[in-house]
Amino acid sequence: MKPAAPPVAAQSGQAHAGSARVTVETIARIEGEGALHVRLKGERIQDLRLEIPEPPRLFEAFLRGRRAEEAVDITARICGICPVAYQMSAAHAIERAWGIAIDPQVRALRRLLYCAEWIESHALHIYFLHAPDFLGYQDAFEMAAKYRPEVERALRLKKLGNTIMRVLGGREIHPVSLRVGGFHHVPSKRDLQPLLEELKWGLEAACETARLVNTFPFPNFQLDYEFVALWHPDEYPLNEGRIASSLGLDLDVEAFEEHFLEQHVRHSNALHSVLRERGSYHVGPLARFNLNCGKLPPRAREVARECGLEPPVRNPFRSIVVRAVELAFACEESLRLIGGYEPPARPCAPYQRRAGTGVAATEAPRGLLFHRYTIDETGLILSSKIVPPTAQNLKRIEDDLWGYLPQILDAPVEEITWRAEQAIRNYDPCISCATHFLKVRVTHEE
Amino acid sequence: MKPDKHRPTVGIFKFASCDGCQLTLLDCEDDLLAVAGAVDIRYFPEASRNIGKGPFDIAFVEGSITTHHDADRIQQIRRQARILIALGACATAGGIQALRNWHDSGEYVRQVYAKPDYISTLKTSTPVAEHVPIDYELRGCPVQKTHFLEIVCALLTGRRPQLPSASLCIECKRKGNTCLLVASSEPCLGPATQAGCGAICPAMGRACYGCFGPHENANAPALAKRFREDGMSEPDLQRAFRTYNAWAWQFRKASEEVET
């Protein structure tokens, strides 16, 4: 399959002379709403702001006084795209505070539930939100006219993730089975068996996806990022691990807040995270792959090699290929987990509520998701902190645009706008999460 | 709406929410391309760069109203929409973020943000119907995709949508679940909650937490009385009714009658 001509080339853009303003009032194909304002003078960027007008919902405030167990379902409502990520980080943090040990089969089942979310979320982003940029379409519906089999494959992959989610969690969005200590209900082996056939198809379809997106035209752009992700000695990280970075950070999750700082900037209802010593950093598929690619199972590793992915991958536009490799990983890992599944003796470990603080970080489809809860002796939340992946990437996205836009400033404003959007979508930003985002405005000054 | 005249124009709008209800539309995997072919999707920024203008035959609105800007925006959308459908618990009841309605929202903002003066927000999170008349609502946190498909089919064919209005108990009994409230005194909100989810929580042995909100004739205070008799503390009682549909009046009434 040949990719179409680069996006917008066909559109008639007004050539600019002197200064201009690029504005994307509503950045489409992202989760939530954001806007980008770029002010240009000649060939120089005067100002660049990623605005997050998404209304604040104040989760950390109303979590105070709630039962710690409720955080699992309440924080899921921060994001309808990655509710499992919130449920997992919340459950793990509270389990850590209360010293609850998790049965290995419960752990395996949680990993399967997380894989289901990765499959659904990655399939959605690759085909519906990002691929149209590379192929020059406004959306996947338009793309379906020429790429019908590919869009149908996307829908079938999405449905696969959602089916696993429904079997384990009762429904696709805000599933209801996960709880502090384990699960409310666990499936039987027979419940999971019918998923195997479709997962085998899914693994092949994910590899096809990687080969397809690897043929897309990628801008020649790369940066020296500091990649941050969970790192686990034995497995590609999902639910647990140490926090590692490409510049040598190696931390227990407890130490997260000593090294990472949230800043409040005027133009954003989402906080910006920075590394205390070094500024912006990069979380998500590229970071995970670069730090953990040796842990990928055989098929996912093979397709990564076939696509020429060698760590460190530093071109953010190639994140779509890495995401497809992770899609293959999630299918392959699901097959392994179902193959080895025995229902746990007890779906939920018994526990005692007590005063304490617990933290956890897990890998949401978009990157590291940190939760901290301080709980009183009766089990009520005294305070909490939630650091979603998009908040961690926001500063990074702005920094990417500062680096990338100068390469394309001789293009018509319409094309700059679309390219800027595409660069933002490299991060699959989820603004609903980040405010717990996108409009683009490029302005040329006279 | 007359069938076959033209493809109805559709807009999908977001207010304060988690995006889950919009995602439910994209989760209609088997029917998505058919639906997209039967209507003219003019405004759906989550899925498309084509940002079209109204008027719209059908406007789906996700999310609650929490800012001055959004309070104006919902008026504009209503003026441009022939049929306005509130989508999910945030749009129909104010969502989980309506918990601020009982508190000092300024203090809430100070809790979360280092520089509260950068934040502009209303003191309350309110459902769409408190601002403009709505034509239909789809309940749930999140909505059910079958309900979305039902309302689209009904509007396309010019008939009335058939959406559940009974209590969750009806759905739960049909599934053959053992009643958690009667058999094990679990604080199940099912008797006061609108059906529609498929009774997924009771099917897992978990008490319903009311994410579809109160049904029309719900007597939430009577259910609260039962919970009290079963030994639930007053603060737990209040928390039980104050979740994703806390601002729906039946649940609100039950939670405000709690002695604290």
Query: Each residue of B188-240: pLDDT tens digit?
Result: 999 999 999 999 999 999 999 999 999 999 999 999 999 999 999 999 999 99
Q: Quote the pLDDT of residue A295.
A: 97
Q: What's the CA gap between A162 and A198, in Å, rounded?
A: 12
Contact residues for B131 (Cβ-Cβ < 8 A; gap 6+): B65, B71, B74, B75, B78
Residue A435 confidence (pLDDT) above 70: no
Q: Quote the pLDDT of residue A20.
A: 76
| Nearest residue, CB atoms, B23 vs list A138, A173, A184 | A173
Alpha helices by DSSP H, listed for A38-186, are 59-62, 71-76, 83-98, 104-123, 131-135, 140-146, 148-169
| Nearest residue, CB atoms, B141 vs list A31, A174, A185 | A174
* Mean pLDDT for the stretch of residues A90-97: 98
CA distances from A36 to A39, A56, A211 (A): 10, 18, 32
A4 — pLDDT class (breaks 50, 70, 90): very low
**Tokens 């033209």 — which residue?**
B6
The phi and psi torsions of A313 (rounded to 5 degrees) equal: -80, 120
Contact residues for B199 (Cβ-Cβ < 8 A; gap 6+): B168, B171, B172, B175, B177, B190, B208
Which chain B residue lies closest to A162 (C-alpha atoms)?
A: B27
Q: Quote the pLDDT of residue B170.
A: 96
Q: Quote the pLDDT of residue B116.
A: 75
B33 and A31 within 8 Å at the Cβ level: the answer is no
- Say yes or no: B34 contacts chain A, CB-CB below 8 A: no
Q: Which two tokens stand for residue A301?
A: 């590793």
Go through the domains of chain A in sequence order and give each one's CATH number: 19-219+340-444 (1.10.645.10)
Q: Quote the pLDDT of residue A322.
A: 98
Q: Where are the domains of chain B?
A: 9-157, 168-256
Which chain B residue lies closest to A439 (C-alpha atoms)?
A: B45
How far is C-alpha A69 from the chain's CA centre? 25
Residue A432 confidence (pLDDT) above 90: no
Q: Quote the pLDDT of residue B110.
A: 80
B147, containing H or E segment: helix B145-157
Residue A410 confidence (pLDDT) above 70: yes
Kindly tell me the burial class for residue A410, based on how many C-beta atoms sit within 10 Å of its own C-beta (0-12, 13-18, 19 or more).
exposed
For residue A282, the SS3 value is strand
| Nearest residue, CB atoms, B19 vs list A81, A132, A266 | A81
- Say yes or no: B238 contacts chain A, CB-CB below 8 A: no
A231 — pLDDT class (breaks 50, 70, 90): very high
- Say yes or no: B95 contacts chain A, CB-CB below 8 A: yes
Residue A437 confidence (pLDDT) above 70: no
List A residues 315-374 in contact with B (Cβ-Cβ < 8 A).
none
DSSP code per residue over A360-394: EEEEETTEEEEEEEEE-TTSBEEEEEEE-HHHHHH
- Nearest Cα of chain B lies from the Cα of A338 at a distance, in angstroms, of 20
pLDDT in tens, A173-205: 999 999 999 999 999 999 999 999 999 999 999
Q: Quote the pLDDT of residue A74.
A: 97
* Mean pLDDT for the stretch of residues A385-399: 90
A173 and B200 within 8 Å at the Cβ level: the answer is no
Question: Into which CATH architecture does domain B9-157 fall?
Answer: 3-Layer(aba) Sandwich (3.40)
For residue A24, list its beta bridge partners: A36, A440
B114 and A264 within 8 Å at the Cβ level: the answer is yes
A73 and B209 within 8 Å at the Cβ level: the answer is yes
- Nearest Cα of chain A lies from the Cα of B217 at a distance, in angstroms, of 26
Q: Quote the pLDDT of residue A172.
A: 95
pTM of the model: 0.93
For residue A120, the SS3 value is helix
Of these ranges, A8-22, A320-334, A381-395, the one predicted with the greatest mean pLDDT is A320-334
Question: ipTM of the assembly?
Answer: 0.95
A50, containing H or E segment: strand A44-51
pLDDT in tens, B66-82: 999 999 999 999 999 99
Residue B153 confidence (pLDDT) above 50: yes
A430 and B19 within 8 Å at the Cβ level: the answer is yes
The phi and psi torsions of A17 (rounded to 5 degrees) equal: -125, 130
A10 — pLDDT class (breaks 50, 70, 90): very low
